[in-house]
Structure 1
Amino acid sequence: MIAVIQRVSQATLHIEGALQASIQQGFVVLLGIHVDDTQEDVAYLASKIAGLRIFSDEEGKMNVDLQAVNGELLLVSQFTLYSATRKGNRPSFLESARPEQAIPLYELMIKTLTEKIGKQIQTGVFGADMQINLTNDGPVTIIIDSKNP
């Protein structure tokens, strides 16, 4: 499981022109689910995301987590994170989990992050064509792979 975490000052997510989700200061997390992922991958990544200290403290050092700044979180499933591009120019997505496997893990991630952060998170819609607008703060972008702890 791969998470691409962007520290943002704001973000919105639209589906077919309608606002689905909106956050202020916090994280936009793009989540890729691999065919070999399990509940253990969810637990590992959720703990890392919830504890990630990438907000500035009073000295300007990245030393503060999401809860300390009362930040929000927008979680978006993104199967393209497991694209294979070695052969040709058209990506292959064979390593991405199929919906019947990925949806339960995505829903578990929503539940687990909500519990760890202590408030409801915003989400996209699994499999939908989504448009995300965000202001990356820093910019700060962190990638965490549960298979490479």
Structure 2
Amino acid sequence: MRAVIQRVSQANVVIEGNQVATIEKGVLILLGIVPDDTHEDVKWLSNKITNMRIFPDDKNIMNISLLDSGGDAIVVSQFTLHASTKKGNRPSYIKAAKPDIAIPLYKTFVKQLETDLNKSVQTGEFGADMKVSLLNDGPVTIIVDTKNKE
């Protein structure tokens, strides 16, 4: 699993003109899944995101986690995070998991994040054409890949 985590002052997701998710302070998580991702990857990634200290403390030092900040989260599926750009000018998405594998893991990740944060998490819609807007706070953008745990 690969996640792009963006600390935001606000973010929202619109599908076909309808706003389906909106948050103020928190994180927007773009999530890409490959076929060999597991439930262990889900748990590890959710724990990492929940406890990563990317919010400022009273001295403006990134020392507060999403969990401790009380911030919210939006999770958006993003198969393009696993694009291969080695050959040619058209990215290949062959490494991304097909929906029969990706959808259950995506849903499991959202549930795990809700458990770890002890609050509901908003989402986009898997496979939909989404318009994602955000006000990146900092800016802070971090990429985490479960294949690079060590």
TM-score if structure 1 supplies the norm length? 0.98
Distance, in Å, in 2 between the alignment partners of 1:19 and 1:56 is: 29
Shift of 1:90: 0.8
Distance, in Å, in 2 between the alignment partners of 1:86 and 1:60 is: 40
Q: Which amino acid is the alignment partner of residue 7 of structure 1?
A: R
Task: List structure 1 runs of 4+ shifted beyond 4 angstroms.
Answer: none
Shift of 1:54: 0.4
Q: In structure 1, what is the equivalent of residue 53 of structure 2?
A: 53
Q: In structure 1, what is the equivalent of residue 40 of structure 2?
A: 40
Q: Which amino acid is the alignment partner of residue 64 of structure 2?
A: V
Distance, in Å, in 1 between the alignment partners of 2:103 and 2:67 is: 26
Q: Which amino acid is the alignment partner of residue 41 of structure 1?
A: D
Q: In structure 1, what is the equivalent of residue 65 of structure 2?
A: 65
Distance, in Å, in 1 between the alignment partners of 2:140 and 2:71 is: 15
Distance, in Å, in 2 between the alignment partners of 1:52 and 1:16 is: 33
Q: In structure 2, what is the equivalent of residue 3 of structure 1?
A: 3
Shift of 1:132: 0.6
Q: In structure 2, what is the equivalent of residue 23 of structure 1?
A: 23
1:108 partner SS: helix
The correspondence of residues 1-149 of structure 1 with structure 2, limited to 5 A, is: 1-149=1-149
Q: Which has the higher helix share?
A: 2
Q: Which amino acid is the alignment partner of residue 89 of structure 2?
A: N
For residues 4-24 of structure 1, what are the alpha-carbon distances to aligned partners after superposition, in whole Å with 9 as ceiling and x for unaligned? 000000001000111010000
Identity %: 54
Shift of 1:59: 1.2
Shift of 1:145: 0.4
Q: Structure 1: 5+ residue runs without aligned partners?
A: none
Q: Structure 2: 5+ residue runs without aligned partners?
A: none
Shift of 1:35: 1.6
Aligned residues: 149
